């Protein structure tokens, strides 16, 4: 036993899979102690991109520090003129016939671009001569607005704030505040989802819930498959025929269709995570049963089983002590795969809108479903709402499958290449 465990942990594949899985598991367990916020608490409205959000009000009240950054002006300019505007400027300069070779929309050629712009842009000229692509009133207005904003951002603007009831205080462009001195700052490493919920906190909670679903589904499927497989394989005869008939029924009817039908008939109100897990478990035991059965058939005629029979042991005892330990490693591997496929099945079902009811807890599948329903894939382009979820699903099933192949290598040395 000890030796087997040692071997298992010497398998690099198993080890990598195990470490990935443990990292995920530990994150799920420890994270709630650091972020105690309710994972389903709505912080804002709609998708917010990842980043740190500071309260403007509190930022104004935070103590200021003077800092003279040499590149402050150019940074400000760079963020004031976005790439799309620079492209418009370039297009205009090309039409105007200026030499734009060596000038691009990149940050380091912004100086050249501005110089060219100032040399070539003349409002009266644009109004009089209709340049190609800038002939309509709207297009000309756009150019005019662009010019105004460029001029505005070049002059260090004076800004004043009123602190409390007192007089207005001038804010200089060399004033800085410290992020953690702002009373209300929210760090959202993965932004928010469509409901304005912190995606990271939600994701961690969802991972935990999905793991529980996978665990329950895997346990149910493995136990059911084990009992059916052991009975069918060991007892044989009519019992085998009946059990395999049922198993074949489950094989012929695609499991997923069955899942959808059961889910649909249960109704969303009754679908907690346990129900979901049980339904997944009850539809995925078939292949465990089949493979356990075939293993048992090869074992039941071994001499040690015959000897056990001759020693007068009961069927129950023979199955439990003479058959089960011999296939235990196989069952563990099957269990790992069942957990993995349970998590995937939940994700698939939820993506179709057949997941657990949406008000209690998030699951990985539900997060995907919400992202789909609220256009994170398409209109909002909010990659942070679904990409990390896909990543976590992939990592979980990758690590579990890696553990499985690692175990396979240890328990079936003949398979080693």
Partner 1 sequence: MKTELNNEAAVKAGPNTEGMNQEQLRQLEEGVSLKIDRNKDFSNAPSVLRGEGVTRIFTTGKTRTVAVDHVNFNFHKGELISIVGESGSGKTTLSKMLLGLLEPSDGTIYFNDQVRDISTGAKKRAYWKGIQAIFQDPFSSYNIFHKIDSVLEDCINLRGGKNLSKQEKYDMMTEACSFVNLKFAELTNKYPFELSGGQMQRLMIARIFLLKPEILLADEPTSMIDACSRATILDMLLKLRDETGMTVIFITHDIGLAYYISDAVYIMEHGKFVEQGPAEKVILEPQAPYTKRLISDVPKIHEPWDLSTVG
Chain positions contacting partner 1, by CB under 8 A: 302-304, 306-315, 321-322, 325-326
Helices 137-154 and 110-120, axial angle in degrees (round to 10):
120
- Give the span between the Cα atoms of 358 and 355, in whole angstroms: 8
| Distance between CA atoms of residues 160 and 170, nearest Å | 4
Which lies closer to partner 1 via its Cβ, residue 322 or residue 346?
A: 322
Burial class from Cβ neighbours inside 10 Å (0-12, 13-18, 19+) for residue 36 reads: exposed
Closer CB to partner 1, residue 79 or residue 412?
412
- Report the nearest approach of partner 1 to the CB of residue 330 (Å): 15
Residue 254: CB minimum distance to partner 1, A: 29
Residue closer to partner 1, measured from CB, 155 or 311? 311
Q: Please, what is the minimum distance in Å from the beta carbon of residue 309 to partner 1?
A: 7
Q: Closest separation between CB of residue 237 and partner 1, Å?
A: 10
- Give the shortest CB-416-to-partner 1 separation in angstroms: 22
Residues 6+ apart with CB under 8 A from 61: 163, 183
CB atoms within 10 A of CB 342: 27
Q: What is the DSSP string of 330-390?
A: HHHHHHHHHHHHHHHHHHHHHHTT-SS-TTT---HHHHHHHHHHTTTTTTS--GGGTHHHH
Q: By C-beta, is 347 or 410 nearer to partner 1? A: 410
What values do phi and psi take at 133, rounded to 5? 90, -15
Cβ closer to partner 1: 178 or 302? 302
**DSSP code, position 181:** G
C-alpha span between 22 and 56 (Å, rounded): 40
Instruction: Give the residue with the Cβ less far from partner 1, 13 or 309.
Output: 309
Taking the complex as a whole, the smallest distance from the CB of residue 315 to partner 1 amounts, in Å, to: 7
CB of 311 to partner 1, least distance (A): 5
Q: Shortest distance, CB of residue 412 to partner 1, whole angstroms?
A: 16
DSSP 68-108: --TTHHHHHHHHHS-HHHHHHHHHHHHHHT---TT--SSGG
Give me the helices (H) in 155-236, please.
199-235
- Looking at beta carbons only, is 278 or 299 nearer to partner 1? 299
Q: Which is nearer to partner 1, 53 or 326 (CB)?
A: 326
Which of 367, 359, 361 has the alpha carbon at shortest distance from 388? 367
Q: Can you say whether the dihedral through the CA atoms of 318, 319, 325, 330 is positive or negative?
A: positive
For partner 1, the closer of residues 94 and 309 by Cβ is 309
As given in the structure block, the two tokens for residue 362 are: 């998030």
Task: Output the smallest distance, CB 312 to partner 1, in A.
Answer: 4
For partner 1, give the closer residue by CB, 325 or 413: 325
CB of 306 to partner 1, least distance (A): 6
Q: Which of 88, 86, 94, 134 lies closest to 114, judged by CA?
A: 86
């Amino acid at each position: 036993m000890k030796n087997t465990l040692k071997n298992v942990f010497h398998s690099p594949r198993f080890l990598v899979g195990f470490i990935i899985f443990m990292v995920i598991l530990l994150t799920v367990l420890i994270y709630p102690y650091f972020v105690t916020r309710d994972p389903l608490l709505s912080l804002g409205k709609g998708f917010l991109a990842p980043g740190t959000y500071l309260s403007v009000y509190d930022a104004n009240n935070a103590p200021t520090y003077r800092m003279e950054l040499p590149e402050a002006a150019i940074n400000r300019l760079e963020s004031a003129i976005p790439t799309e505007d620079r492209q418009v400027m370039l297009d205009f300069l090309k039409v105007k016939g200026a030499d734009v070779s060596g000038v691009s929309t990149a940050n380091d050629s912004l100086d050249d671009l501005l110089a060219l712009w100032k040399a070539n842009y003349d409002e009266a000229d644009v109004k009089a001569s209709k340049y190609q692509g800038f002939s309509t009133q709207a297009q000309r207005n756009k150019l005019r607005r662009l010019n105004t904003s460029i001029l505005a951002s070049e002059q260090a603007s004076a800004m004043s704030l009123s602190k409390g009831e007192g007089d207005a205080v001038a804010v200089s462009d060399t004033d800085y505040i410290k992020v953690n001195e702002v009373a209300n700052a929210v760090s959202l490493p993965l932004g928010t989802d469509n409901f304005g919920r912190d995606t990271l906190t939600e994701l961690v909670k969802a991972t935990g819930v999905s793991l529980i679903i996978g665990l329950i589904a895997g346990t149910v499927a493995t136990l059911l498959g084990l009992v059916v497989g052991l009975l069918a394989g060991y007892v044989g005869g009519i019992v085998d025929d009946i059990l395999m008939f049922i198993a074949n029924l489950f094989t012929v009817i695609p499991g997923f269709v069955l899942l959808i039908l059961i889910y649909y008939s249960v109704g969303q109100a009754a679908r907690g995570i346990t129900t979901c897990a049980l339904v997944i478990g009850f539809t995925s035991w078939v292949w465990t049963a089949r493979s356990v059965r075939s293993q048992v058939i090869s074992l039941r005629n071994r001499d040690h089983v015959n000897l056990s029979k001759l020693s007068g042991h009961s069927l129950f005892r023979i199955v439990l002590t003479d058959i089960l330990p011999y296939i235990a490693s196989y069952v563990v591997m099957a269990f790992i795969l069942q957990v993995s496929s349970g998590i995937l099945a939940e994700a698939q079902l939820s993506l179709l809108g057949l997941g657990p009811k949406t008000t209690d807890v998030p699951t990985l599948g539900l997060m995907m479903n919400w992202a789909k329903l609220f256009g994170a894939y398409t209109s909002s382009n909010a990659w942070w709402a679904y990409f990390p979820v896909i990543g976590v699903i992939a990592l979980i099933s990758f690590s579990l499958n890696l553990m499985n192949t690692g175990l396979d290598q240890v328990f079936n040395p003949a398979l080693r290449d």
